[in-house]
């Protein structure tokens, strides 16, 4: 049987804190303390409950096909993250440089794979490629909108899971 190490469990608790932190800012009146305090007993409950939400999570993800364009390709999510991060670093421009070879090397995929991904994103109306090799990529409003929709869906799902896990946790002997 494969069992997680304490280091892996600690990393998972940190991952949960990172993904729940926006909810603590958006909804300070709600208590996400069991996650934010990194309670290891609650973590196990949250993860068990989260498994029961896999169909709901898939429906939420599938409701934003533009996000799935990136998630369904190796390294796609990371390429999209680089595009958005570079654009946020220079908010005065909607054009970023993401050289295919550089991005491919960074994420262990070929430059052809990166190019094909960005061509597909262009066909979907998410970006406009202006120069060869990824040297000038324009991020279109639809990319930002669909990214925001994906984040909103994820936050909604995180909240649903937390509420269900909390109800289960507090009803358990020793739950707080």
Give per-residue pLDDT as tens, 64-82: 999 999 999 999 999 999 9
**Residue 127, helix vs strand vs coil:** strand
- Mean of per-residue pLDDT scores for the chain: 93
Residues contacting residue 73 through CB under 8 Å, at least 6 positions apart: 113, 117, 120
- The domains of the chain are located at 6-62+150-171, 65-147
- pLDDT (tens digit, 9 = 90+) per residue, 85-130? 999 998 888 789 888 889 999 999 999 999 999 999 999 999 999 9
Tell me the pTM.
Answer: 0.83
* C-alpha to C-alpha distance for 94 and 65, rounded to whole angstroms: 22
Q: Tell me the backbone φ, ψ of residue 109, rounded to 5 degrees.
A: -125, 165
- pLDDT (tens digit, 9 = 90+) per residue, 129-162? 998 877 889 999 999 999 999 999 999 999 999 9
Confidence (pLDDT) at 60: 93
Confidence (pLDDT) at 172: 82
65-147 CATH: 1.10.10.10
Confidence (pLDDT) at 146: 95
The residues that bridge with 129 in the sheet, in sequence order, are 137
Over residues 168-173, mean pLDDT: 89
- pLDDT (tens digit, 9 = 90+) per residue, 21-48? 999 999 999 999 999 999 999 999 999 9
């Amino acid at each position: 049987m494969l069992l997680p190490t304490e280091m892996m469990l600690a990393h998972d608790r940190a991952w949960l804190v990172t993904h729940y932190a926006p909810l603590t800012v958006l909804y300070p009146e709600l208590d996400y303390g069991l996650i934010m305090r990194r309670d290891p007993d609650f973590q196990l409950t949250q993860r068990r409950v989260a498994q029961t939400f896999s169909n709901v999570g898939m429906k939420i993800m599938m409701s934003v096909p533009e996000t799935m364009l990136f998630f369904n390709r190796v390294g796609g999510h990371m390429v999209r993250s680089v595009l958005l991060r570079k654009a946020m670093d220079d908010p005065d421009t909607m054009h970023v440089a993401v050289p295919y070879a550089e991005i491919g090397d960074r994420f262990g995929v070929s430059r052809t794979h990166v190019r094909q991904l960005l061509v597909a994103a262009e066909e979907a109306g998410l970006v406009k490629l202006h120069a060869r090799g990824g040297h000038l990529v324009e991020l279109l409003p639809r990319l930002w909108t669909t990214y925001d929709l994906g984040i909103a869906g994820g936050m909604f799902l995180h909240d649903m899971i937390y509420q269900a896990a909390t109800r289960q946790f507090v009803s358990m002997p020793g739950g707080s």
